[in-house]
Amino acid sequence: MPEKTGKPDEEQSAESRPRRLQARGQRRVAQLLEAAASVFCSTGYTAASTNAIAREAGVSPGTLYQFFPNKEAIAIELGDRLMHEMRETYGEALAPVDPATPLKEAVGAAVDRFVDFNCQHPVFFALMHGPDIPGRITEEHDALHATLVSRVEALLAGFLPDAPTADLTRTATVCVGMYKAGLELVLAHEGAEREAYVRELKNILFRYLEPLVGDRMAPSGARGDRDPAWGNTP
């Protein structure tokens, strides 16, 4: 629809933005993305209306469509920017794990990184876990998910070279699933309680993996040195 008459000058397919964004335009785009993040966060993707996003940004619906060809493109641009910032902040390989680090610290560091990012960008969780989101976002989410799983799988393979691949994949999938569930709990609380849930998430993952990895990675000798169970302040 956005393409006009069938003239042979084929620019980029269906680009609705002007060829060059002025400073004002870039400001508008940022403004609109911020508003979209807010609306997506509070109502989810499908329930968010483009008119509501425009209103939140203080512009008219027409202005919104001056910069985005459709509603999906807003979510995609938002997702792309978040993804980019994530990779930029935490390196190209998400949460690279050195096989020499003790399991406890590896888990703790990975959890801290991702929790930090999600706490600073709550819309990321909303976009990646909404059950209604459109195609492109789902692709990005699936890609991220696969990356996470295969990375955890690789870490586990270093500890368990003899384990069947199917078991490794399953364990990695479980880890990522538990991380997501824990992240939801973390984001649902604030302050000290949030920190407590972060600790519990680390406990979950560590205790799940510890018997698989074995004593090789246990920080001290006997397994009897039980964790303080409640409220071990890091």
Q: Which is nearer to a second copy, 14 or 181 (CB)?
A: 181
* Position 144 contacts a second copy (CB under 8 A): no
Least distance CB 66 / a second copy (angstroms): 29
Interface residue with a second copy among 63, 77, 180, 187 (CB under 8 A) is 180
Residue 156, token pair as written in the block: 């586990």
Residue 111, token pair as written in the block: 């959890």
Question: Do residues 87 and 117 lie in contact, with contact meaning Cβ atoms separated by under 8 Å?
Answer: no
- List the one residue out of 93, 96, 53, 99 whose CA is nearest residue 73: 53
Residues 64-123 that bind a second copy (CB under 8 A): none
* Position 144 contacts DNA (CB under 7 A): no
- Distance separating alpha carbons of residues 92 and 87, to the nearest angstrom: 5
Residue 154 has φ and ψ, to the nearest 5°, of -65, -40
- Distance separating alpha carbons of residues 172 and 151, to the nearest angstrom: 8
**Residue numbers at the binding site for DNA (CB under 7 A):** 1-2, 16-26, 28, 48-52, 58-63, 65-67, 69-72
* Binding footprint of a second copy on the chain (CB under 8 A): 44, 46-47, 130-132, 163-164, 166-167, 170-171, 173-174, 177-178, 180-182, 184-185, 193, 196-197, 200-201, 203-204, 207-208, 210-212, 223-224, 226-227, 229-231
